[in-house]
Structure 1
Amino acid sequence: MAVSTAQVSPPAPAGRNRSVHRRPFVARNARLLLVWGLLIALLAVYIREAPQFRPREQRTIANSGMTLAIAGLGQTLVVFTGGIDLSLGPMVSLTNSIASEVADPDAPGGNMPLAAVLAILVGASGGLINGALVAYGRLQPIIVTLATASVWTGIALYIRPDPGGYIPPGFSEALTGTAFQEPVALPLGLTWDRPIAKSLVLLVGLVVFWLVFRRSRLATRIFAVGSSEGAAYMSGVDVARAKLLAYTLAGVAAAVAGLFQSAQTATGNALAGNAITLNSIAAVVLGGASLAGGAGSYLGTIAGAYVIAVI
C-alpha cells in the first residue's frame, strides 16, 4: 500500500486569519474621509476669503446645513433599505406650515409645544403610510413617495396658501441662536469663552444618536434588508417591518427638519421644503451611501449636507 507523504500545514490562528482579511481603516472609510476632507477644504477657503469669521457667519452656515442634515437622516435610513423617499421635502413643508399655523397666538389654542407635537405626529403618520404601502402593498418606493409628495404639498397649500404665520422668537432662539455667549467654567480649571451656534450643539446630538442607533438591532436589520432582501428574509429578519420602521423614522426626521426650518425662518411656507428632497438624496450619495442599499453612513450624509450648504 502506498503511503502519502504529503504534509498538511496546521490551520492558521483565528486572530491571524482575521487580520489577513481585515481591511485598513482608510480603505473601509475612503468615501467618508473624502467627503469630510472636501468639507474641511471648502470651509478653509471660506474662512480665508472672509478673515473676520464672526459668530454670525458661523451661525449662518451651521443653520443652513442643519435642516438638510436632519432631513438627510430620514433619507439615509430609507436608502439603506434600497428605497428612496421623494415625499421628504413636501413633508418638511407640511410640518412647517402646521407649526406656523398652530403656534399662532391668535389661533384657537395656539402654542408652540402643541405645534411641535402635532408636527411630529403628522410626520410619523406620513412615514407610516409610505412604509405600509411599500412594505405591505409591495409597491415601488419611487411611485409611492411621488404620489404622497403631491398629497403632502396639497395639504400644506390648504393650510398655508400664502407665506406667513407665526413662530415664537424664543423657539427660534433656542434652536438657531448662539450658545456660550458668556464664559463657561470647564473641569480642570479651564474656561470656554467662544460663542458657537446652537445648531452645532444639536448636530453633536445627532452624531451621538447615530453612533448609538447604528449598533441597534433595527439598524442591523435595515442594513441587512438593503444588502440582500432575500438573504435577510432567510436569516429571520422581518423585512416588511424593517422597511415600515425605516420610512416611519424618515417621516419623523422630516417633521423635525420642518420644525427647525420653522425656527430658522420664523414663518411658514407651503413650498419651503421643495429643494430638500433632491438635496437630501444628493447629500446621501455625496456621503458615500449606495442607492442600491445596504452601504453608507449617516456621518457621510452630514458632511454631504454641509458641503451643499457651503456651496
Structure 2
Amino acid sequence: MSDRLAVLMLHRFATCPQHTKGHSPTDLRSVLALLRASGVRLLSLDEAIAEYLHGDRSGAAGGPAVCFTVDDGYRDFMDAGLPTFEAFDCPVTCFIVPDVIDGKTWFWWDRLDFMLRRLPADQLALNVQGERFEVRRSTNEYSWQRPAVSMLKGRTEAFRADFLAELEARANVAIPSDVPEEYRVMTWDAIRECETRGVRFGAHSLSHPVLSQVSSTSAEQEILGSVQRLKTELRNPSSVFCYPYGLASDFGSREVEILRAGGVTHAVSAMPGLIGPSAEKGAELGELPWRIPRFAFDGRPAMALRQLLIA
C-alpha cells in the first residue's frame, strides 16, 4: 500500500429516507469501515498538512491516509454526517460561509432548487440577457437542477442574479425571506457545539462567490473577512481556507497572494489529486500549500481505497 494522502470533499447528508439529498450515512459508514479494516489512516486536515506538506512524520505509522472535509456547513452535517464520523473516531474539517449563517443570504443553487420544484408547468421558457433557456420542473437533484447549476456557476454574479429574478417572475414563485428547513445551515451555536465534539471549522469566504469573478477589493474582503469572522465566533478555528467552487478557473495567483499577505498558510481546492510525503520532496513546495487538492467523494464503498492504490 502506497504512502500517500487523499483529501476527500463532501457537502450534504441524507437525514432520513424521505430526505435523500446528499450522502447516505449508511454508505459513508461502509466506506469508513472499509478504510479502517484496510489499515488506511484517518487523519485530521491539520495532521495531514503537517505530515504530507511539511514532513512532520514523528507520529506517522506509515501507509496511506485519508482526510475528510465537508463544505458549506449545512445542518444535515450535524444531524447525519457528524454522528457517522464520530462512530469511527474519524476527524473532519468543515468549511463555512458566515453571511449564510447570519441569514444575509442563502446559497443561490438552493434558491434555484426551491423554484424548480415549484414551477407552475413542467417546462418554462426564460429570456436572460438575450439568451433563451428552457427549464423543467425538478423532482430530484438529477433532473434539470444539476446542469443548471453547472451552467450558472460559469456565469457572472450579475447573470446569475438576472436568471434567478427572471425565473422567480415567470414561475410566480416568491422566495421566502427565511430559509426553508431543507436548505438551512448550522447556526453559530450549533457550530460551537460541534467544536466541542472535535470538529474543526475553516473559512469558505463570506458569501461564496466565484473569487476570480470579483474585484480585488471584494476578493480580499471575502477571504480575510471570513477568516476574521471565524476567529471572532469560534474557540479554535482551522487556519486552512477553502476556495468557493475551487476549480482552476475559480481562483488564481491573486487569491493566493491575498492569503499569503493575510497570514493564511494553507488552502484547499476542488482539483483532484493525491499528495505524497513531503520528506521526499525537500523544502521547496511551491504553491501546493495554497492549492491542496481534494477528490469529490461520491459515496461508493472502496472509492477512497481505489484512489489511494490505483490513481
Q: Normalization by structure 1: what TM-score? A: 0.28
Higher strand proportion, which one? 2
Q: Which has the larger radius of gyration?
A: 1
Q: Normalization by structure 2: what TM-score? A: 0.28
Higher helix proportion, which one? 1
